[in-house]
Amino acid sequence: MTTPVLAIENLTVSFRADGQWRPVVQDLSFMVNERETLAVVGESGSGKSVTALSIMRLLPLAQSRVEGRIALDGRDLPPLSEGEMRRVRGNEIAMIFQEPMTSLNPVLTVGFQVAEALIYHRGLARAQAEADALRLFDRVRIPAAKSRFHEYPHRFSGGMRQRVMIAMALACRPRLLIADEPTTALDVTIQAQILELVKMLQEEEGMSVLFITHDMGVVAEIADRVVVMHRGRAVEQGETTRLFTQAQAPYTRALLAAVPRLGSMEGQSRPLRFPVVDTATGESDTPSPTPDTVDPADRPLLEVAGLVTRFDMRSGLLSRVTGRVHAVEDVSFALRKGETLALVGESGCGKSTTGRSILRLVPPSGGRILFEGTDIATLDRRGLVAMRRRMQMIFQDPFASLNPRKRVGAALAEPIVVHGLAGREEARARVAELLRRVGLDPAMAERFPHEFSGGQRQRLCIARALALEPRLIVADEAVSALDVSVKAQVLNLMLDLQAELGLAYLFISHDIAVVERVSHRVAVMYMGEIVEIGPRAAIFGDARHPYTRRLMAAVPVPDPRRGRIRRGLDADEIRSPIRAPDFTPPPRRYTEVSPGHVVQDWGTERERLPA
């Protein structure tokens, strides 16, 4: 039997906290074979990143303890001195990280940062190392590599920075590449490019890859074998296809059940709850269909017509307007009671700004927003405050959206008292009711936010939004920061609340698979404009606009039987909506291809879409 490239045996990693050693990885064993891609998958806190860092010996020495065997090509790593270990890092094992925006040194040129590994490991002179590094830039498909070589990282987009990181990792032709959530911070179309690049380079270099991720779709696309981690332990490992079809461990089955799969909603007319899986047994229920909550005869609750939001960019001596961000450009849609309209798109497409403009958290530059028939632009301060009772917002980061110094009971009671809906005593009773409604124990009102988990905090945010009995909730990436299983629970809660209270949701998300599951209608945004809008089934079953199609094709599907889709190696970047100050957006025309399904005409508009 050949020696595996990496063999981990009985790895236990502990961290010291308050004078006690707490294990975060326990008794973990796996191996990575020659030319193999092994995915380590798990939710936050599963110990997957800690495993990677302990292989590289990058954990803080004073607060961590690593036990067990880590062998690279049969050579034990833990006994190596720091100097010897340094010669392994970047040379035999290379690593790329999750946050491309912060992983490159801002004061050194990208070219030098790539060349540095060659200088230290190959003993090359700087000029020679930089010449070699330039070739690496071409290999990772950085456009105009030569001219961009001596630039600083801040001039590069996230996707391009991740390419620089990959070039840096490949510089010394490592035996093993550890990729720690390398695409999590990237947009879905960029993620597709980077995954493709990693796959291709792996074949060319013949290296092995340890790919750490939380995303089952990415696993299905990239991995030969999978290790599933949960609370520091490996609960299951095996061939990717087998794992997806015949998972043994209850946790794996629960995880797979909670993952929304693009295309799984064919034939469903309404949003569908996620199955609830018992993590102890792995048994799941069959999700009950949601009731019909939309009456097409109603007058829409929210009507947005020609909404425009632009931000001036000032620079120069006199702070003249030198550019304008066309964040939202001529956006129109309507939303009925009990309906969920999803706004999907990639970063910078204007979906969040649209939501904030509707609540007037940012001032719109033009267009009309009618809420329950009232134009919100005409409201004075008092009117605005009253209007905000009727529409509420839930934010992305459950850790940042609660005041850390306020007990949650007080935080939930405050809007009720401020708006004069009830006195303090009655408010307390209402808080208990709100907590029950979002599935929390009313006794938790006395606690501070930091005593809650991420999913619980998001429930608290929903409860706070509900305190004012709103009709519309703008949910801005409300579940994006949550782990898969928690995400499913919170989405189920949102669907239940919609059924009970007839809430309308403006569901802003970049997660296309989630959107397919929970929405009635979908609007796809690109560079500040809606390029396609329509019933969910029409958008997902019959996408017309080239951007919509591109977006759908980029979504990794958690089904290894679909085979590996080759998407080709492009290096397109997400275009910026910054324009010259005198720019006038061209008039758009729209075609209704089926009832309610409207597509922007793109025909001659070559400039707007990458080929």
Partner 1 sequence: MTGTATATLLRAFNTNKTSWAGLIVLLTVVALAALAPWIAPHDPIEQDIFARLEGPSALYPLGTDQFGRCILSRLLHGARYSLFIGIASTLAAMLVGSLIGMLAGWYGGRFDVVVMQAMDVLLAFPALILGLILVAMLGPTLPNIILAIAATSVPAFARIARAPTIAVKEREYVEACRALGYSDARILFLHILPNIFAEILVMSSLWLASAIRTEASLAFIGLGLRPPIPTWGGMIREGFENILDSYWLAMAPGVAILVVVFALNLLGDGLRDAVDPKLKGES
Partner 2 sequence: MSTFIARRFAFALVTLWAVLTLVFFIVRVVPGDPAQVILGEQATADAIAAMRTRLGLDRPLGVQYIEFLWGAVRGDWGVSLVTGRPVVQEVLAVLPWTIELTLAALVIGAAAGIPLGVWAAVNRNRATDYVIRLASLLGLSFPAFVSGILLLIFFAIQLRWAPVMSTQGGSFSAWLGALALPAINLGLIMAAYITRVTRSAMLEVLGEDYVRTARAKGVPWRAVVWRHALRNALIPIITIVGLYLGVLIGNSVLTEIVFNRPGLGKLIVGALNQRDYTLLQGMMVIYTFVVIIVNLLTDLAYGAADPRVKLK
Task: Establish if 385 lies at the interface with partner 1 (CB under 8 A).
Answer: yes
Considering CB distances under 5 to 8 angstroms, the limit depending on partner class, which of partner 1, partner 2, none binds residue 121?
A: partner 2
395 forms part of the interface with partner 1 (CB under 8 A): yes
Which residues ranging from 78 to 97 are in contact with partner 2 (CB under 8 A)? 82, 86-91, 94-95, 97
DSSP β-bridge partners for residue 25:
13
Is residue 455 within 8 A of residue 462, CB to CB? The reply is no
Helix (H) or strand (E) holding 75: strand 75-76
Q: Quick one: which of 154, 242, 405, 549 contacts partner 2 (CB under 8 A)?
A: 154
Per partner kind, with CB cut-offs from 5 to 8 A, the member of partner 1, partner 2, none near residue 403 is partner 1
Among 99, 205, 303, 397, binds partner 1 (CB under 8 A): 397
361 makes contact, choosing from partner 2, partner 1, none, with CB < 5 to 8 Å by partner type, with partner 1
Strand pairing of 64-72 and 6-17?
antiparallel
How many angstroms separate the CA atoms of 431 and 412, rounded? 6
Give the interface segment with partner 2, choosing from 110-118, 202-210, 527-535, 591-599 (CB under 8 A): 110-118
For the chain, how big is the Rg over CA atoms in Å?
Answer: 26
State how far Cα 511 lies from the chain centre: 7
CA distance 133 to 172: 10
| Burial class of residue 232, CB neighbours in 10 A (0-12, 13-18, 19+) | buried
Ranges within 134-153 binding partner 2 (CB under 8 A): 152
Residue 549 interacts with partner 2 (CB under 8 A): yes or no: no
Are 173 and 184 contacting, i.e. CB atoms less than 8 angstroms apart? no
Nearest-angstrom CA–CA distance, 512 and 349:
14
Nearest approach, Cβ of 89 to partner 2 (angstroms)? Answer: 4
- 396 contact, one of partner 1, partner 2, none, CB 5-8 Å limit per kind: partner 1
Q: Which does 58 bind (CB under 5 to 8 A by kind): partner 1, partner 2, none?
A: partner 2
In sequence order, which residues have a C-beta less than 8 Å from that of residue 562 and are 6 or more positions away? 220
- On the CB side of 20, CA atoms within 13 Å amount to 4
Q: Which stretch binds partner 1 (CB under 8 A): 383-391, 421-429, 497-505, 560-568?
A: 383-391
Q: Is 393 in the site for partner 1 (CB under 8 A)?
A: yes
The one of partner 2, partner 1, none whose footprint includes residue 393, by CB under 5 to 8 A per kind, is partner 1
Q: Is 19 in the site for partner 2 (CB under 8 A)?
A: no
Taking the complex as a whole, the smallest distance from the CB of residue 383 to partner 1 amounts, in Å, to 11
- Whole-angstrom Cα distance, residue 253 to residue 246? 9
351 binds, among partner 2, partner 1, none (CB under 5 to 8 A by kind): none
Q: How far is the CB of 54 from partner 1 (least distance, A)?
A: 23
Distances (CA, A) of 312 to 4, 187, 323, 376, 438: 57, 25, 6, 23, 41
Q: Are 427 and 416 in contact (CB under 8 A)?
A: yes
Residue 108 near which of partner 2, partner 1, none (CB within 5-8 Å, type-dependent): partner 2
Applying CB under 8 A, the span of 78-86, 150-158, 370-378, 398-406 interacting with partner 1 comes to 398-406
- How far apart are alpha carbons 588 and 576 in whole angstroms? 19
* Residue 210 token pair: 């340890």
459 part of the interface to partner 1, by CB under 8 A: no
DSSP 137-175: HHHTT-TTHHHHTTS-GGGS-HHHHHHHHHHHHHTT--S
Chain center to CA of 490: 16
Work out what residue 388 binds among partner 2, partner 1, none; the CB cut-off runs from 5 to 8 Å by kind: partner 1
Closer residue to partner 2 (CB): 120 or 602: 120
317 binds partner 2 (CB under 8 A): yes
Q: Is 377 a residue that touches partner 1 (CB under 8 A)?
A: no
392 binds, among partner 1, partner 2, none (CB under 5 to 8 A by kind): partner 1
- Give 287-320 as a DSSP string: PPBPP----TTSPPSEEEEEEEEEEEEEETTTTE
List the one residue out of 453, 425, 423 whose CA is nearest residue 440.
453
What are the b/e assignments for 326-358, b being 16+ CB within 10 Å? Answer: bbbbbbbbbbbbbbbbbbbbbebbbbbbbbbbb
Sequence-ordered list of residues with C-beta below 8 angstroms from that of 426, at least 6 positions apart, any chain = none
**Window contacting partner 1 (CB under 8 A); options: 216-224, 287-295, 379-387, 553-561:** 379-387
Q: Is 392 in the site for partner 1 (CB under 8 A)?
A: yes
The site that binds partner 2 (CB under 8 A) totals a number of residues, namely 35
Among 361, 429, 443, 569, binds partner 1 (CB under 8 A): 361
404 binds partner 1 per the rule CB under 8 A: yes
Provide, rounded to whole angstroms, the least separation between the CB of residue 97 and partner 1.
20
CA distances for 8 relative to 57, 97, 234, 319, angstroms: 14, 21, 12, 58
- β-pairing, 391-394 with 472-476? parallel
Site for partner 2 in 155-194 (CB under 8 A): 165, 168-169, 171
Candidate ranges 183-191, 299-307, 414-422, 586-594; the one touching partner 1 (CB under 8 A): 414-422
Taking the complex as a whole, the smallest distance from the CB of residue 396 to partner 1 amounts, in Å, to: 7
DSSP state of 606: G
Among residues 57 and 388, whose Cβ is nearest to partner 1? Answer: 388
Binding mask 85-124 for partner 1 (x = CB under 8 A): ----------------------------------------
Closer to partner 1 by Cβ: residue 306 or 383: 383
Q: Which does 317 bind (CB under 5 to 8 A by kind): partner 2, partner 1, none?
A: partner 2
Distance CA 569, CA 195 (A): 10
Sites of contact with partner 1 (CB under 8 A): 359, 361, 384-386, 388-389, 392-393, 395-397, 399-406, 414-415, 418-419, 450, 461, 464, 468
Sites of contact with partner 2 (CB under 8 A): 56, 58, 62, 82, 86-91, 94-95, 97, 99, 102-108, 113, 116-117, 120-121, 152, 154, 165, 168-169, 171, 315-317
